[in-house]
Structure 1
Amino acid sequence: MCMILNRNSQIVATEPPKPVQYAISALQRDKKAVFTETGMPGGDIVLAKDSDLPPECFCLQVHEDRLMLTAADALGFVYGLFEISRRFLGVQPFWFWNDQKFIQTDGVTVPQNFTYESKPARVRYRGWFVNDETLISHWKVERRSEMPFVMVFETLLRLGGNLVIPGTGKNGHRYHDLAADMGLIITHHHAEPLGAEMFVQAYPELEPKFSLYPEKFRALWQQAIDRQKNTPTVWNIGFRGQGDKPFWEDDPQYDTPEKRGALISSLIREQYDLVKHSDPHAVCCTNLYGETMELYQQGCLDLPDEVIKIWADNGFGKMVSRRQGNSNPRVKALPPQGDTGAHGLYYHASFYDLQAASHITMLPNSTEFVCEELTNALRHGVDDYWLINCSNVKPHAYLLDYIAQLWQNGTADPEGHCIAYAQAYYGKANALPVAKCLAGYADHAVSYGEHPDDHAGDQFYNHVPRMLITQFLRDRTQPSEDLNWLCDRPALSGQAAWCGEKFREAMQNYEQYLRQCEATAATLTGAARTLFQDTLLMQAQLYTFWAEGGEDVCAALEAGFVGDWKHCFYQAGRAKNAYTAANAAMRNREHGKWIDFYANECQTDVKQSAQLCGYLMSFARTMGEGPHFYEWMREFNDSEADRRVMLILNTDNHPDDDTLWRLMEQHWGQ
């Protein structure tokens, strides 16, 4: 005999805490979405405490006509409730972000002998940093600005996460209590130790120097501790500048590694003591990120033994130090073998570097690559803390899902996961062709450097052309220093030629990938087709447009270097159209709840790429036919007979740049 779960099944719990209350309400919502109304009784789901179970674990077992959920703590119950939703109702972790369509039924049967007991996660503290969240922070769901963040936190819990930085800057404070009420442990941005208010925000009229105002810094730290003392927290301790930069940029008296390390070490120890005074059992961590990792590896930092040391990837998935400007030392970012201290990592599914990273599209490196990096980190003992930069979630759902399997189990087959993910969200019949497109995304990414992680993301196709244009307008006789990390050439023309080759390579790659995605989309129907158009097909379209735009920018500059201002203007117009089309491709995938999701796309900022191409058009036109601006209009608009008669310079208003470009396109376009 089997028990039945249906819409009439009750969830029985005695005085559940807030996190369990939320998970119960989510399961009730899922029941209404999946189960149709019926007159048949349903077996109840009964929550009962079992202190013998490990922390955060749960057990599901059918007992008579009830499904018993036992756990030792709140998160155990939360995970158990979401497991019921996934296992029996079919609700996947990314149901919200992937617009999962539920198969409705009047009920599901659970075998009488059913038992499932969860295991402790491979990583102790595991979760997301909601960072660079410029899309979801300006987007509303159900007319509620907090709803996107509710869905971020729910998704994280469904994936077995327990840790979060709930937002960047003010968002981190705004959604702190919401995340905690849902059961997540709070941790902090490496630029905001202890979650304290930044000095420049609290005292905008003062110089942000610890040497001048030590007591004001200390007061901010103590206020943060007092404010959060009743909230489960992994306390991030450290000392950086006001923002994501070294503190000595504001206080240059610390001009040697020894001086810098001595101050950071003393302040970390002071913060550690403050936290431990408030809670002797508190867990603390510190980021070995950027300049801090260099100081640590130089032996200039002295850290308390219990502090979790957090190592970071370079933003492209490789566990080495990140590139900063033109400096890219690629120092290994892992503890040495045999180091038995507590270690964690900060890893980027999304990254914002204004150079080559991906923010609104997927990481351009494969899950096989990610698997090797993260399993290698586990082999080095990095299993106390994993914080993943999830950004706006939706563009990165596939990789976030994969990483969650790693933090849960310690291993995950990339190929098997790819097929399972495609099946879960696109349907069993569509799994293989969609999985090929998921895997093919990284295969078509262009390499811009000598390292296996040097693959170009969305910022490469937007920020690099903008660097070229800016230097061309500023001084085309000099190379762009901003591009030395990419192509250190003695002349801007050489840099533009090098970039043009890369963009042409990308055009070929992404035209192939776009054809593959279009062919797959043609085989899909219904919700699967819409989701594919919203995700993989859209990203293929974006890269195709961006590669065209980048190549056209380089062609425009090539013409400009030799004074061919008409073709410079024309190619810049082609580039502007390509970037405008890319922005339209994003906005065209806004429908239903996704209306205005991309409205605040301001970091890769495709709109600005189009705008800068417009500046280049105006510059070329000024150089080519200024100051009177009649020659090109006559050449491309007037008949041959009218051009040969010069009685008056012009008889109509001067066309704007876009109108003039369209006249050129009629003559030169294909």
Structure 2
Amino acid sequence: MFILSSDTKIHSELDTKPIQLAIQRFYRDLELTLNKTREMNVTTGDIYLKHSSNVQEEAYMIDINHDTITIQASDSLGYIYALNELSYTFLGIQPFWFWNDQVLQQVPYIEIETSTMESTPAAYRYRGWFVNDEVLINHWTLNGSTEEPWVMVMEALLRLGGNMVIPGTDHNSKKYSELATDMGLWITHHHAEPLGADMFLRVYPDLNPSFDEHPNLFRALWEQGVQKQADKKVIWNIGFRGQGDRPFWLDDERYETDESRGRLIASIMEEQRTIVRKSVDNPVFCTNLYGEMVDLYQKGYLTIPEDTIKIWGDNGYGKMVARRQHAIDSRTEALPAEDKKHDSHGVYYHASFYDLQAASHMTMLPNSLTIVRDELVHARERGVNDFLIVNCSNVKPHVYVLQAIAEIWSNGDLDHSTYPERYVSAYYEGEHRGIAELYRKYADCAPRYGKHADEGCGDQFYNYSTRQFVSQWLKSDTLSPVQGMNWACDEDNFAKQIQWYAGKCREALENYRRMLSKTADVRNEITAKVLLDDSIGLQYQMYADFAEGGLALCEAYTHYEQQDYMNAFYQLGRAKEAYESAHQSMIDREHGKWRGFYQNDCLTDVKQTAYWLGILMGVVRNIGDGPHFFMWQREVLYAPEDKKVILITNFENHLTNEELYEAMKKKHSNI
């Protein structure tokens, strides 16, 4: 037997920064899982890292003998994956050990039988995460460090077998590119930032961002971007999109036809390829067929070199069709044609999405793993197997889905029928007791906002829809339909839209309350209560609160239509309270290292929903109780025989909206 203990040492023939960091992580894994004891009557073995040109790129061979473990690899990632494999197989360190607060049991040492372990090639050549919409991670610190959260993001990615990252959005992608390189990862770029260069309007805020007007300024930015990254492993994203992640022709009237747009993008791509080749040997290129780019390419107006990886995108909800643009949802298939399947293709897939409509940002994808598996496997059958990048957002809310997708990028498939049990067994101290069923039923609870299976209502649905209704109500326009809701609801007036929304919220509330009850039953039977509360339990609670808040808004409007302003005010208070409860549920899960994690929820922004419901409460109170604001107070607080005898208007200070609502709630509870 090889004896692995806290005294085990690693000896390396190579001394690159990625290998150094991997060795440090392995030593930390030993500290987490092995006791350091002085009375160990065993001989500890050591680990040797040896370079071998006979081992393929990113691969490894591990020979375990009675006194040594020898790892052979030809590059840094090979050694990183090998050390991660030892941690996983023998120390029990799971890929999301940090993010799921894995409970690790310490032992004095581990006996490992002699054997040989050899890696198998991943299904995708390039596979990784786009750390996008990272507003929680960006404002959260670990041990006082703003960088350490990013270290843990990239460590998890490496443990899942990933090799590529877009290390954040906009400023962050440049700020953390060095860290990504130090950890051994390939870097690629946001589709709005070709070659990872600075955005034109950031450098030249007073100029029109037109390539025709300022070609040399654009070229200079691309040159600078390449020079800054020439020493890194980069998959160079080429293309030309407008500033602010929108089509350039929206700001440049010169390009009115598909032909002219496609011609310009193709010519710019060739220029960008030339710029890269001047500084980089054998560069790898990619381009995103995203939004309008899909249409241009499929119509034949955009020519892309065969060796450039063409990255197809899902619609944000896991379906490989074109993304909905406002109310236009073509559902056009976003996959290569049969005669193009042998070109280089990749996919940009969303475990998290942000669209200001119905996507899931603070919670898991509300669609089944069956859809995820079927879509990605089908894409592979259509030739999409070179590149898979996943929008991982803030990681923690999405770990269940991210680990499932990582199985696909490693193996080419996912046994989704057994995945919930396997996941739960890995993180919940080996307990099942109904936990897996809570995960399995999650996607079934989400109402569909449309007729397709992938159109599940995520956390943005209950927040952006509610805020849209509140905003229009505040503008005193309750006759016209809310235009911002026409992507999901084709009713022609405000009241009918409210009725439609109430139906979705009522369905959701019934489903999530049922699952909250089951979650409570499961919780009583397990020891891993904290993890349950932090993960699936939190998400069920948030959705129940969202649905309750949305439904109370709709009930408030029904009273408002009937000029029953007092009850409308009360129902708005209930809505506000429900969203405040959802926000508080997140804050309550900020314990230990997670303190501050949810503070910057600024995209779904649950607290903002509650805030504007509070504003609407004041407006409704003004209509029904203004301008003197004492009649409702008398109605709620005074005895029946005193309510209408007004010799003095009020004997107490005027109640704030919140105080009045609390008094109403107390009265309702006593009825």
Q: What displacement does 1:248 show?
A: 1.6
Q: Larger deviation: 552-561 or 184-193?
A: 552-561
1:478-530 alpha-carbon deviations (Å, 9 max, x no partner): 110100011111110000001001100111111111111111111111xx211
Which of 401, 411, 414 is matched with 2:413 structurally?
Answer: 411
8 Å CA contact 1:319, 1:333 repeated in 2: yes
Residues 412 and 644 from structure 1, CA distance in 2 versus in 1: closer, same or farther, beyond 3 angstroms? closer
For 1:166, give the aligned amino acid. Answer: P
Q: What displacement does 1:320 show?
A: 0.4
Q: What displacement does 1:262 show?
A: 1.5
TM-score by length of 2: 0.98
Give the structure 1 partner of residue 524 of structure 2.
522
**What pairs with 1:15-414 in structure 2 (closer than 5 Å)?**
15-39=14-38, 40=40, 41-112=43-114, 114-339=115-340, 340-414=342-416
Please state whether the residue corresponding to 1:642 is helix, strand or coil.
coil
Separation of aligned partners in 2, 1:554 and 1:255: 43
Q: Any gaps of 5 or more consecutive residues in structure 2?
A: none
Q: What displacement does 1:252 show?
A: 2.6
Give the structure 2 partner of residue 601 of structure 1.
601
Separation of aligned partners in 1, 2:375 and 2:443: 16
Please state whether the residue corresponding to 1:459 is helix, strand or coil.
helix
Separation of aligned partners in 2, 1:407 and 1:362: 19
Give the structure 1 partner of residue 567 of structure 2.
567
Please state whether the residue corresponding to 1:641 is helix, strand or coil.
coil
Give the structure 1 partner of residue 10 of structure 2.
11
For 2:543, give the aligned amino acid. Answer: Y
Please state whether the residue corresponding to 1:431 is helix, strand or coil.
coil
Give the structure 2 partner of residue 544 of structure 1.
544
Give the structure 2 partner of residue 626 of structure 1.
626
RMSD: 1.2
8 Å CA contact 2:13, 2:51 repeated in 1: no
Which of 493, 501, 506 is matched with 2:495 structurally?
Answer: 493
Query: Percent identity between the aligned chains?
Result: 47
Separation of aligned partners in 2, 1:455 and 1:606: 19
For 1:538, give the aligned amino acid. Answer: L
Indicate whether 1:591 and 2:621 are aligned.
no
For 2:138, give the aligned amino acid. Answer: S
Indicate whether 1:450 and 2:457 are aligned.
no
Separation of aligned partners in 2, 1:417 and 1:638: 59
**What pairs with 1:440-519 in structure 2 (closer than 5 Å)?**
440-474=441-475, 475-519=477-521
Separation of aligned partners in 1, 2:139 and 2:189: 22
For 2:25, give the aligned amino acid. Answer: A
1:39-92 alpha-carbon deviations (Å, 9 max, x no partner): 433110111111111110001112341011111111100100111111111111
1:354-383 alpha-carbon deviations (Å, 9 max, x no partner): 110001111001111110001001101101
For 2:337, give the aligned amino acid. Answer: P
1:225-278 alpha-carbon deviations (Å, 9 max, x no partner): 011011010000011111221112222332221222121111111111211222
8 Å CA contact 1:420, 1:431 repeated in 2: no
Q: Larger deviation: 480-489 or 295-304?
A: 295-304
8 Å CA contact 1:577, 1:610 repeated in 2: yes
Q: What displacement does 1:638 show?
A: 2.1
8 Å CA contact 2:3, 2:66 repeated in 1: no
Please state whether the residue corresponding to 1:31 is helix, strand or coil.
helix
Please state whether the residue corresponding to 1:302 is helix, strand or coil.
coil
**What pairs with 1:418-457 in structure 2 (closer than 5 Å)?**
418-428=420-430, 430-457=431-458
For 2:435, give the aligned amino acid. Answer: V
For 1:578, give the aligned amino acid. Answer: A
1:146-196 alpha-carbon deviations (Å, 9 max, x no partner): 000000001101111000000011111110100011000000000111001
Separation of aligned partners in 1, 2:481 and 2:472: 7
Q: Larger deviation: 413-422 or 380-389?
A: 413-422
Size of the aligned set, in residue pairs, is 665
8 Å CA contact 1:238, 1:264 repeated in 2: yes
Separation of aligned partners in 1, 2:602 and 2:262: 36
Separation of aligned partners in 2, 1:82 and 1:243: 39
Separation of aligned partners in 1, 2:639 and 2:668: 16
Q: What displacement does 1:663 show?
A: 2.1
Separation of aligned partners in 2, 1:500 and 1:593: 38
8 Å CA contact 2:45, 2:66 repeated in 1: no
8 Å CA contact 1:269, 1:303 repeated in 2: no
Q: Larger deviation: 557-566 or 130-139?
A: 557-566
Q: What displacement does 1:432 show?
A: 5.0
Give the structure 2 partner of residue 617 of structure 1.
617
1:533-585 alpha-carbon deviations (Å, 9 max, x no partner): 10011111111111000000111112222322112111100000000011111
8 Å CA contact 1:209, 1:251 repeated in 2: yes
1:614-670 alpha-carbon deviations (Å, 9 max, x no partner): 111011111112222222112112223332322233343221101111222233346
Q: Larger deviation: 30-39 or 378-387?
A: 30-39
For 2:564, give the aligned amino acid. Answer: D
Q: What displacement does 1:447 show?
A: 1.2
